[in-house]
Structure 1
Amino acid sequence: MTVPDADNITADHRSLHERIAADLRDEVMSGDLAPGANLPSTNQLKERFAASNATIQKAVQRLKGEGLVVGRAGAAVTVREHRQRTMHPASYMTPAPQGEPYRWLTEATKYGAVAHSTLLEVAEVCPPADVSAALNLSTGETALLRQQILTIDDEPVELVKSYYPLTIVRSTAITEKRKIKGGTPALLAELGFPPRLSVDRVSARVPTQEQFQALRLPSDLPVLRTLRIVHSDDDLPIEVTVMVKAGHLYELQYEFTPE
C-alpha cells in the first residue's frame, strides 16, 4: 500500500467541535456506538480529542440537533434508538396490484412505521438538464412534474420529483393533482408502458435551500440524491425521478446476483 506524502495530505480546516461531531457521528452510524449506549463522558471525550469542555458540549449539541443522541445537562447522553433506516429501493419498483397502495407505503409499514405521501405539485415544467437528457427531451421541451414529500411517523424522509414525457401522460390521470391508487408505475403499466428496467444514479450533495426546508434538516450535512431512470419496452424512458433524503439518517441497500 502506498502511503500518501505528508505534504500532499489536505488539512481538516473544520472547527474542532465539527471534527469531533463527525467522528462521533460515524461511530453512531456504523454501530460502534449502538442504540441505547451512552456516549463517552465529557472528561473521556476531552482527553480523547484534547478539547475543552465547551468544545465537547458544542459537538454533542450538534448530534442532539441531528436527532442522533438524546440527553440533558448533567445526565448521560445516549444514542437514540432506530434513527438510521435502511431503504431497499428494489422492494417498491414493481407496480402495486390493482387497488393496492403504492409499494413504498406498504414497505414502510413492515417495520412498524406509519408512512404517508403528500402531493405538493403537479405542473408542466422545463426539467433540470440531467433529467431532460435522461428523458431524451429537446432543448426547451417540457415534461410533467409530480412532486411529493414522503414521511415516516410524521418525519419528512424524502423529497420526490418525478418527471414524465408529455407524449405519454397527456390527458391521463397522471396530469391531475390527486393521488393515484397503486402509484404512477401501476397506471403507466395500464397505459401500455410497463417498467422493464430502472437505473439509479446516487450521489451525495450539499442540500439546496428547498431540500433543507422540506426535510427539516438540522445542518448542512449532505443529502443522498438518487436520479432514477425507468425504461419501458424498447428502452423507452417513461419516468425520471429525483429523490432526496437526509444522508445522516438513511442508507440505501442494493442486492446483486453475480453472473
Structure 2
Amino acid sequence: MTVPKAEQDAHDHRSLHERIAADLRDDIMSGQLPPGFNLPSTAQLRTRFGASNATVQKALQLLKDEGLVIGRAGAAVSVREHRQRTIRPAGSLSPAAAGQTYPWLTEAAKHGATAHITLLGVTETRPPADVRAAFGLSDEASVLLRSQLVLIDDEPAELVKSYYPLEIARGTPLADRRRIRGGMPALLTELGHRPHRSVDRVSARVPTQEQFQTLRLPGSLPVLCTLRVVYTEAGRPVEATAMAKAGHLYELQYEFTPE
C-alpha cells in the first residue's frame, strides 16, 4: 500500500533518543517536571517510550549536556534548579531608581542567581535590514551598535545587540565603551528621548555561528530571538535591540490589560 505524501511528510525523522529528549524537555519547560524533581526511572522511561536502556541513556545525556538535568549513571536524574527562566519584557522599559542597578539584575537576584553584563563592543556600523526598516533608514546609512553578553551564574544567557540612530547617539554616553549606569531607559530619558512604547517581534530560529559560539549552545537547538523597537511618546523610534537566548532555557511572559 502506498503511504500518502502528507503522512510521509508528517513522520518524525529524528532518532528515537532525540524524540525522547524532546518530550522530556517539554515536560521540564511546562513545569510537569519542576526544578529539583526526579525524572522517571530508566525502567519507567523504557516502558513509556518503548526504548532500550542505551537509547534512554542517550536521551538523558542530551538533557545533561543542555544543562537541564543533573545526575550520573545508576543514580536518579533530577531537573536542575533555576534553569528555566521567565523573562518579563515589560520591565525593560522601567528606569532604575536612583542608586539602584538594572531592574532585571534585581529580579535575577530574587531567584538566588548572580547576573552581570559584559560589554562586547561599541561601534558605528550598517545595521541589518530589519533594523534599517524600523528606523526608516537607507541601505547605506549607519547606526551606533552596542553589543553585550548577559551572564547568569557565569553562564552565557543572552546575546544583545542594541542599535541607535547616530543623531541621538554621537557625543553621548551611548557612544562610550562602558556600561550605562542605571540602564538604557534612564539614559534615553536623560537625553530627552523617554521610552514610551516598545514593539517586540519574537521568533525561534536556527542559531547563527556567532550565537552558537557566544551562548555556548550544546547542539542544534533553536534560539529565541526578539527584535524590540522602542518609541518615544511622539512615535519616534530611538532604539532597536536584537536579543538571542537559548530556546530551551527561557520563556517570555507578556501581560495585557483589555482597553
| TM bucket, shorter chain | over 0.9
Say which SS state the counterpart of residue 117 (structure 1) adopts: strand
Which residue of structure 1 aligns with residue 6 of structure 2? Answer: 8
Equivalent-residue separation in structure 1 for 2:70 and 2:122 (angstroms): 39
1:233 Cα deviation from its structure 2 partner: 3.3
1:67 Cα deviation from its structure 2 partner: 1.1
Q: Does 1:146 align with 2:174?
A: no
Which residue of structure 1 aligns with residue 224 of structure 2? Answer: 224
1:87 Cα deviation from its structure 2 partner: 1.2
Asked if 2 retains the 8 angstrom alpha-carbon contact of 1:230 and 1:239, the reply is yes
Say which SS state the counterpart of residue 158 (structure 2) adopts: strand
For normalisation by structure 1, the TM-score amounts to 0.93
| Counterpart amino acid of residue 18 in structure 1 | E
Percent identity reads 67
Equivalent-residue separation in structure 1 for 2:48 and 2:191 (angstroms): 61
What pairs up with 1:174-193 in 2 under 5 angstroms? 174-193=174-193
Which residue of structure 2 aligns with residue 58 of structure 1? Answer: 58
Task: Tell me whether 102-111 or 132-141 shows the greater mean CA deviation.
Answer: 102-111
Equivalent-residue separation in structure 2 for 1:165 and 1:56 (angstroms): 52
Asked if 2 retains the 8 angstrom alpha-carbon contact of 1:92 and 1:107, the reply is no
What pairs up with 1:203-218 in 2 under 5 angstroms? 203-218=203-218
Q: How many pairs were matched up?
A: 255
Equivalent-residue separation in structure 1 for 2:186 and 2:175 (angstroms): 15
**Structure 1's 36 and 108: CA in aligned 2 closer, same or farther, altered over 3 A?**
closer
Asked if 2 retains the 8 angstrom alpha-carbon contact of 1:93 and 1:103, the reply is no
Asked if 2 retains the 8 angstrom alpha-carbon contact of 1:198 and 1:228, the reply is yes
Equivalent-residue separation in structure 2 for 1:110 and 1:71 (angstroms): 26
Say which SS state the counterpart of residue 67 (structure 1) adopts: coil
What pairs up with 1:67-106 in 2 under 5 angstroms? 67-106=67-106
Say which SS state the counterpart of residue 234 (structure 1) adopts: coil
> 5+ unaligned residues in a row in structure 1: which ranges?
none
| Counterpart amino acid of residue 47 in structure 2 | E
Which residue of structure 2 aligns with residue 244 of structure 1? Answer: 244
Deviations 1:163-199 (A, max 9, x none): 0000111111111101111122212111111111111
Which residue of structure 2 aligns with residue 132 of structure 1? Answer: 132
Task: Tell me whether 29-38 or 197-206 shows the greater mean CA deviation.
Answer: 29-38
Asked if 1 retains the 8 angstrom alpha-carbon contact of 2:82 and 2:111, the reply is no
Asked if 2 retains the 8 angstrom alpha-carbon contact of 1:39 and 1:78, the reply is yes
Equivalent-residue separation in structure 2 for 1:163 and 1:171 (angstroms): 15
1:61 Cα deviation from its structure 2 partner: 0.5
Say which SS state the counterpart of residue 82 (structure 1) adopts: coil
> 5+ unaligned residues in a row in structure 2: which ranges?
none
1:108 Cα deviation from its structure 2 partner: 1.9
Which residue of structure 2 aligns with residue 118 of structure 1? Answer: 118
**Structure 1's 6 and 41: CA in aligned 2 closer, same or farther, altered over 3 A?**
farther
Which residue of structure 1 aligns with residue 47 of structure 2? Answer: 47
Equivalent-residue separation in structure 2 for 1:74 and 1:40 (angstroms): 13
Task: Tell me whether 33-42 or 48-57 shows the greater mean CA deviation.
Answer: 33-42
Equivalent-residue separation in structure 1 for 2:94 and 2:70 (angstroms): 38
Equivalent-residue separation in structure 2 for 1:232 and 1:222 (angstroms): 32
| Counterpart amino acid of residue 254 in structure 2 | Y
Which residue of structure 2 aligns with residue 173 of structure 1? Answer: 173
Say which SS state the counterpart of residue 235 (structure 1) adopts: coil
Equivalent-residue separation in structure 2 for 1:11 and 1:193 (angstroms): 52
Equivalent-residue separation in structure 2 for 1:36 and 1:107 (angstroms): 21
Task: Tell me whether 25-34 or 103-112 shows the greater mean CA deviation.
Answer: 103-112
Say which SS state the counterpart of residue 43 (structure 1) adopts: helix
Say which SS state the counterpart of residue 48 (structure 1) adopts: helix
Asked if 2 retains the 8 angstrom alpha-carbon contact of 1:159 and 1:211, the reply is yes
Equivalent-residue separation in structure 1 for 2:38 and 2:190 (angstroms): 53
Q: What RMSD, in angstroms, separates the aligned Cα atoms of the two structures?
A: 1.6
